[in-house]
């Protein structure tokens, strides 16, 4: 999905005064959002996030947008606008700043505070420009106007980008909670004003375009949490996203009301809530918080633990509690609340956690059995409002997989955007806005960039293919030592296997076949190491396939001495 359309070539040079838009991530996937705008040789970037790997990308920690397209032009970047501080929008910032550390980072107060606290860990001191909704800022040829949007993290922004080519509205991630916890509404009046001015291109969040209707208010969770506190006479453990300030606030409020102390657990939870509290986004009553290390010294009915691990992450506290591998021992009557979404791909891991906790006697409450989570993304009903208020000339669904972008495109068509003015693009596809009309003009290479340990980009698709084979089938290595003058076998064959599930004893069966193959090779005058390797691989491969109907990776090593 991340590869360009097979029939698209490289784009032509950009005409003066035309606007070019290339997503380096976020189209065809949910994650690694990053869009590059270009006019008259200058660049503006919106967001720079990470994507989390799928099971067929084993061992990968993170996936970055592919910076190749802009790598040689980083000096042309006027600014990096961050719409909000979720990982899929800011996670790749440290990696981009490694390549040019003084790119001005533009964002709201909380967004900047969270990215700065993250960059401290990478020992990077960024150049920042703090903005507030309602303001306009010019970055080279890009005049940006910021609008408040409501999302599952405070202080999120949409950005309207005015250039000589026209006005583009990028919504960022948003929903339209009409009774938001912080009173900060999505600025529909602003959207309407832009609509009246004339939106040449709308780029809008597609995540929930398939979901009919409207997202419930965050406030509607409060009575459910209250009920849970009422009916709990043992420990309460709440797992949620480490950036969901309002969700944590609701738990703090309930704890205060029910006379329980609160401990936070998980590095990112402690860090983010510290920032949010310091800046006044999180209200923490005096005396409410206790140290999580002291949690066992409090009676179970007097405490609430708020932790990470709601996605079943195996190293998080919650998974370890489920496996009885954590100081907090789940006991009969404890209540565990998974107050979060279930990110696609994590179903199996979360199910394991729920079963583990249940086994030890906990009551587990999750979005499947109670309204303890509402989505952060506008559903179809809300998306229609935005389309109708902004009345865009052109529409580009963003932030979604194919299914979401197609569904969003259909909504746009229903509100009257002509089909030929709706563009569905993938990562790397080049969309130009010229004379008030968008069109696809080409595609640039845009692959996955894998982070594994400290290395970025070293792990390639080839390595992943090897990992998949090794992970499914294991390997058999066969070492033979050959006398380089006579071509004779002087050591080995020595056979090692791991993960193959084949009893090492049976390798004796194949050794004569390897020896025979090498003897024949010597008789035929074959002295080439490559050819000998092939012969060994073939002999072992045939044997294992015939005997076990399996295909482990076979590694023939020929050492000449």
84 annotated as ligand-binding = yes
Instruction: Candidates 72-80, 143-151, 277-285, 472-480: pick the segment binding a second copy (CB under 8 A).
Output: 472-480
Query: In 3-state terms, what secondary structure has residue 55?
Result: coil
Residues with Cβ < 8 Å from 191, sequence gap 6 or more? 147, 158, 169, 386, 389, 390
Burial (Cβ within 10 Å: 0-12, 13-18, ≥19) of residue 353: buried
Contact between 556 and 536 under an 8 Å Cβ cutoff? The reply is yes
- The yes or no reply on residue 397 touching a second copy (CB under 8 A) is no
Of 501, 512, 519, 530, the residue at the interface with a second copy (CB under 8 A) is: 501
Among 177, 187, 205, 427, the one annotated catalytic:
205
Instruction: Compare residues 279 and 555 and give the one whose CB is closer to a second copy.
Output: 555
Contact between 411 and 383 under an 8 Å Cβ cutoff? The reply is yes
Q: From CA 21, how far away is CA 38, in angstroms rounded?
A: 7
Copy the structure tokens of residue 304.
Answer: 């609430």
Of 474, 513, 527, 541, the residue at the interface with a second copy (CB under 8 A) is: 474
Q: Hey, how many other C-beta atoms are within 10 angstroms of the C-beta on 503?
A: 8
Q: From CA 128, how far away is CA 123, in angstroms rounded?
A: 15
Contact between 454 and 530 under an 8 Å Cβ cutoff? The reply is no
Instruction: Compare residues 96 and 407 and give the one whose CB is closer to a second copy.
Output: 407
- The yes or no reply on residue 134 touching a second copy (CB under 8 A) is no
Of 300, 333, 499, 541, the residue at the interface with a second copy (CB under 8 A) is: 499
Contact between 433 and 165 under an 8 Å Cβ cutoff? The reply is yes
- The yes or no reply on residue 452 touching a second copy (CB under 8 A) is yes
Q: Hey, how many other C-beta atoms are within 10 angstroms of the C-beta on 439?
A: 13
Q: From CA 154, how far away is CA 174, in angstroms rounded?
A: 11
The question of whether 419 is a catalytic residue gets the answer no
Instruction: Candidates 13-21, 55-63, 220-228, 429-437: pick the segment binding a second copy (CB under 8 A).
Output: 55-63
In terms of Cα–Cα distance, which of 444, 445, 436, 435 is closest to 11? 444
Q: Map residues 90-109 to x or -, x wherever contact with a second copy holds by CB under 8 A.
A: --------------------
Q: From CA 385, how far away is CA 391, in angstroms rounded?
A: 10
Instruction: Candidates 52-60, 69-77, 105-113, 290-298: pick the segment binding a second copy (CB under 8 A).
Output: 52-60
Instruction: Candidates 33-41, 76-84, 109-117, 485-493: pick the segment binding a second copy (CB under 8 A).
Output: 485-493
- The yes or no reply on residue 508 touching a second copy (CB under 8 A) is no
Contact between 249 and 447 under an 8 Å Cβ cutoff? The reply is no
- The yes or no reply on residue 507 touching a second copy (CB under 8 A) is no
Query: How many residues does this entry show for the chain?
Result: 561
Of 466, 509, 524, 528, the residue at the interface with a second copy (CB under 8 A) is: 466
- The yes or no reply on residue 182 touching a second copy (CB under 8 A) is no
Copy the structure tokens of residue 31.
Answer: 């994650």
456 annotated as ligand-binding = no
Q: From CA 222, how far away is CA 201, in angstroms rounded?
A: 38
- The yes or no reply on residue 496 touching a second copy (CB under 8 A) is yes
* 401 CB-side CA count, 13 A: 6
Among 170, 246, 377, 421, the one annotated catalytic:
377
Instruction: Compare residues 214 and 475 and give the one whose CB is closer to a second copy.
Output: 475
The question of whether 302 is a catalytic residue gets the answer no
For strand 142-149 and strand 136-139, is the pairing parallel, antiparallel, or unpaired? Answer: antiparallel
Helix locations, 435-553, DSSP H: 461-473, 511-523, 529-548
374 annotated as ligand-binding = yes
Instruction: Candidates 122-130, 180-188, 265-273, 397-405: pick the segment binding a second copy (CB under 8 A).
Output: 397-405
Q: From CA 396, how far away is CA 27, in angstroms rounded?
A: 10
- The yes or no reply on residue 463 touching a second copy (CB under 8 A) is yes
Rg (the chain; Cα; Å): 28
Instruction: Candidates 93-101, 166-174, 201-209, 460-468: pick the segment binding a second copy (CB under 8 A).
Output: 460-468
Which residues in the 318-377 window bind a second copy by CB under 8 A?
A: 344-345, 347-348, 351, 354-356, 358-359, 364, 368-369
Instruction: Compare residues 76 and 210 and give the one whose CB is closer to a second copy.
Output: 210
Copy the structure tokens of residue 337.
Answer: 């609340």
Lookup result for tokens 């992943």? 464
Copy the structure tokens of residue 59.
Answer: 């061992």
Of 87, 173, 200, 401, the residue at the interface with a second copy (CB under 8 A) is: 401
Q: From CA 290, how far away is CA 109, in angstroms rounded?
A: 27
Of 490, 519, 530, 531, the residue at the interface with a second copy (CB under 8 A) is: 490
Q: Map residues 402-441 to x or -, x wherever contact with a second copy holds by CB under 8 A.
A: xx--x-----------------------------------
- The yes or no reply on residue 468 touching a second copy (CB under 8 A) is yes
| Shortest distance, position 142 Cβ to a second copy, whole Å | 32
5 annotated as ligand-binding = no
- Catalytic residue positions, numbered: 205, 377
Q: Which residues bind a second copy (CB under 8 A)?
A: 1, 28, 54-55, 58-59, 210, 344-345, 347-348, 351, 354-356, 358-359, 364, 368-369, 401-403, 406, 450, 452-455, 458-460, 463-464, 466-475, 477, 479, 481, 490-492, 494, 496, 498-503, 548-550, 553, 555, 557, 559-561
Residues within the annotated binding site for substrate?
242-244, 373-377
Residues within the annotated binding site for Ca(2+)?
59, 61, 452
């Amino acid at each position: 999905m991340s590869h360009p359309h097979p029939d698209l070539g490289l784009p032509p040079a950009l005409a003066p005064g035309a606007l070019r838009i290339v997503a380096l991530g976020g189209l065809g996937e949910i994650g690694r959002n990053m869009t590059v705008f270009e006019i008259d040789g200058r660049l503006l970037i919106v967001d720079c996030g990470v994507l989390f790997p799928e099971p067929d990308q084993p061992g990968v920690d993170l996936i970055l947008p592919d910076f190749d397209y802009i790598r040689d032009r980083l000096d042309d970047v006027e600014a990096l606008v961050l719409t909000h501080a979720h990982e899929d929008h800011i996670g790749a910032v440290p990696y981009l700043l490694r390549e040019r550390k003084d790119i001005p980072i533009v964002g709201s107060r909380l967004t900047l505070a969270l990215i700065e606290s993250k960059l401290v860990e990478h020992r990077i001191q960024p150049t920042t420009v703090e903005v507030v909704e309602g303001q306009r800022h010019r970055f080279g040829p890009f005049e940006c106007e910021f609008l408040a949007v409501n999302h599952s993290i405070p202080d999120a922004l949409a950005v309207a980008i005015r250039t000589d080519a026209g006005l583009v509205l990028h919504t960022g991630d948003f929903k339209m909670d009409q009774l938001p916890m912080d009173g900060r509404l999505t600025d529909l009046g602003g959207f309407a004003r832009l609509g009246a001015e004339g939106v040449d291109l709308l780029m809008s969040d597609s995540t929930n375009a398939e979901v009919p209707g409207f997202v419930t208010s965050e406030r509607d969770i409060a009575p459910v949490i209250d009920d849970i506190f009422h009916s709990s006479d043992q420990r309460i453990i709440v797992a949620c996203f480490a950036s969901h300030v309002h969700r944590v606030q609701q738990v703090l409020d309930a704890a205060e009301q029910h006379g329980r102390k609160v401990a936070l657990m998980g590095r990112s939870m402690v860090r983010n809530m510290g920032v949010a509290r310091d800046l006044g986004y999180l209200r923490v009553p005096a005396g409410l918080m206790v140290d999580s290390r002291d949690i066992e010294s409090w009676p179970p009915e007097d405490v609430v633990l708020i932790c990470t691990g709601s996605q079943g992450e195996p190293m998080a506290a919650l998974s370890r509690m489920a496996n009885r591998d954590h100081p907090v021992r789940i006991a009969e009557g404890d209540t565990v609340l998974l107050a979060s979404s279930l990110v696609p791909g994590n179903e199996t891991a979360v199910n394991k956690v729920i079963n583990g906790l249940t086994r030890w006697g906990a009551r587990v409450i999750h979005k499947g059995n109670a309204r303890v989570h509402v989505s952060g993304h506008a559903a179809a009903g809300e998306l229609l409002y935005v389309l109708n208020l902004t009345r865009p000339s052109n529409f580009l669904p963003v932030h979604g997989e194919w299914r979401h972008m197609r569904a969003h495109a259909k909504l746009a068509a229903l509100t009257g955007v002509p089909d030929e003015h709706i563009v569905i693009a993938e990562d790397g596809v080049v969309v130009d806005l010229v004379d008030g009309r968008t069109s696809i003009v080409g595609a640039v290479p845009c692959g996955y960039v894998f982070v594994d340990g400290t290395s970025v980009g070293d792990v390639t698709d080839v390595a992943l293919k090897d990992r998949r084979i090794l992970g499914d089938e294991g390997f058999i290595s066969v070492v033979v030592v050959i006398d380089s003058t006579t071509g004779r076998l002087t050591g080995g064959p020595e056979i090692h296997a791991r993960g193959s599930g084949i009893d090492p004893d049976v390798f004796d069966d194949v050794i004569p076949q390897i020896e025979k193959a090498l003897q024949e090779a010597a008789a035929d005058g074959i002295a080439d190491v490559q050819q000998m390797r092939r012969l060994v691989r073939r002999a072992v491969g045939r044997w294992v396939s015939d005997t076990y109907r399996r295909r482990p990776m076979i590694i023939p090593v020929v050492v000449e001495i």
